[in-house]
Chain A
Amino acid sequence: MKKFLFYGLLLLAGATGCEKPERNFFSGEGKRPVYVAEAELKDIRNELPGAVQQSGTIFLRDTLLFLLDEQRGVFVYSLADTLNSRVLTFFKIPAVTDFIISGNIMYADSWRDLVVIDISDLYQIRETNRVRDVVTPSLYPPNYFGIFECVDESKGAVVGWENAYLENVRCSTF
């Protein structure tokens, strides 16, 4: 009986295996995830503002303008003097894709968490709280059609996608 069950299971395994034939592996030019380590997601702080890479959400409060830089953080600008508007600082928030501000608090997503950041002093921001595992991040390269290396979450959070020659990857958008 045991033997029968064993072969039965083997057969079953073989049968399901056949439903996923070799063509599910792809090789060629595609996209590969860029990771930041899990520990680095906690690294939320002010940084000297560099150049914006990919603009996202904007938020205006009186003379302060906030701009999301996808996956990297939020730039802060002063419009107090229209003719001489300028960047004030940059909030580093790894893996951020959107945010909003209420009172002195900024709410931002960061990979799977919702982060609470006290911004009452724009130059001394600090994470004060986080709601864990409420955000479902996209595991696909955005606006892309083709093959890609599947996300391996043991490597951390995905903050971007780079072009690469891929061998035997399992993921594709088709």
Chain B
Amino acid sequence: MKKLLLLLLSIAVLGACSKDFLSESSPGQGVSGSITRFAVNGNYMYVLNQNEVQTYDITDRANPVLKHKLTTDWGLETITFYDNTLFLGSTTALYILDISNPAAPVVQAKSDRLSTVGFSGCDPVAVNGNYAYSTIKVIENICGIISAESALIVYDVSDKSSPKVLGTYPMSIPNGLGYKDNYLFVCDEGSDLLVVYDITNPAALQLAPVAVPMTDPYDLIVDGQRMIVSTKTDFQIFDVSQLPQIRKIGAIGK
């Protein structure tokens, strides 16, 4: 009898595992990595399309309606939402968009990288309080121009209409980035490291002595006590509950 019960129980468990329904297993909103051209906030979705920011009304999730197009310079690459504001990384600038009216974003500031930091390039933005962190990497664009340097740029965005460069930190080939508490994590493909900065003082970042070696890290997501890093060949999962300690707890091959 006990055996039968066990059998039934295991069938029930197997049955439960054979289907993963999104609605049941995932009640949360979800979060993108730092490198994406799509963002959702409430009933609006924002999509970067080369030189325009498209706003879709997704009140009816199954029926998105294109409501608005905001024209920018060419080369939009990444979008992130923070504090009722959209931050865009483009090949030439950091854009800050006001979405007080979520159906029609307005450019609040455009920080041209050539004039503020002396060189230009693409890549993502992470925002924490009054500070925005953005990486710029060496790229060969369609004109064959190679950006002179790769770096992590720290902006003071306390005044969203007038971001100021607070610091520039050299990197090799940086990609995605994210933070938890007082630590910033940057995927540096060039040095094959997940580089960690102490950002307690945003005006003077300190390299934490806990960089994690890995091959070609591309992007990451910090989710509570967990951090998931996507590399070219796998995912690496870390426990970040005891920062600055970073403890690897799992991996998935690609």
Please give the residue numbers on chain A whose beta carbons come within 8 Å of chain B beta carbons, in ascending order. 51-52, 55-65, 67, 75, 77-80, 82-83, 85-88, 98-105, 107, 109, 114, 116, 118-123, 128-129, 131, 134-136, 138, 140, 143-145, 173-174
Contacts and interface: CB of A to CB of B under 8 A. Distances in A.
Contact of B20 (A75, A122, A131, A173): A122
Interface string B27-40: 11111110111111
Interface of B: 19-23, 25-33, 35-40, 45, 47, 49-50, 54, 56, 58, 61-64, 66, 139-140, 142-144, 218-219, 221, 223, 228, 230-232, 235, 237, 249-252, 254
A58 B223 contact: no
B30 A107 contact: no
A134 B166 CA distance: 37
Given A83-B250, A100-B36, A173 B26 contact: no
A138 to B, nearest CB: 8
Contacts of A65: 228, 235, 252
A117 B195 CA distance: 36
Nearest to A143: B140
A64 B49 contact: no
The 3 closest A-B pairs by CB, nearest first: A61-B30, A100-B38, A52-B254
18 contacts: A56-B35, A57-B35, A58-B32, A60-B31, A62-B27, A62-B28, A63-B25, A64-B25, A83-B249, A85-B237, A98-B37, A100-B39, A107-B38, A107-B47, A114-B64, A122-B20, A123-B20, A138-B50
B30 A101 contact: yes
A28 B77 CA distance: 31
B228 A59 contact: no
Given A65-B228, A65-B235, A120-B21, A60 B221 contact: yes
A172 B61 CA distance: 41
B241 to A, nearest CB: 13
Contact of B219 (A58, A88, A99, A109): A58
Given A58-B33, A100-B45, A174 B143 contact: yes
Contacts of A138: 50
A82 B221 contact: no
Contacts of A135: 49
Given A100-B32, A135-B49, A61 B26 contact: yes
Contact of A86 (B33, B56, B58, B252): B252
A51 B99 CA distance: 40
B33 A120 contact: no
Nearest to A102: B40
B54 A134 contact: yes
B62 A129 contact: yes
A86 B237 CA distance: 12
A55 B254 CA distance: 9
Contacts of A62: 25-28, 30
Contacts of A174: 143-144
A173 B143 contact: yes
Given A83-B250, A102-B40, A58 B221 contact: yes
Given A64-B22, A102-B40, A107-B45, A118 B28 contact: no
Contacts of A128: 62
A98 B47 CA distance: 10
A134 B66 contact: yes
A82 B228 CA distance: 11
Contacts of A52: 254
A128 B142 CA distance: 36
A93 to B, nearest CB: 13
A104 B22 contact: yes
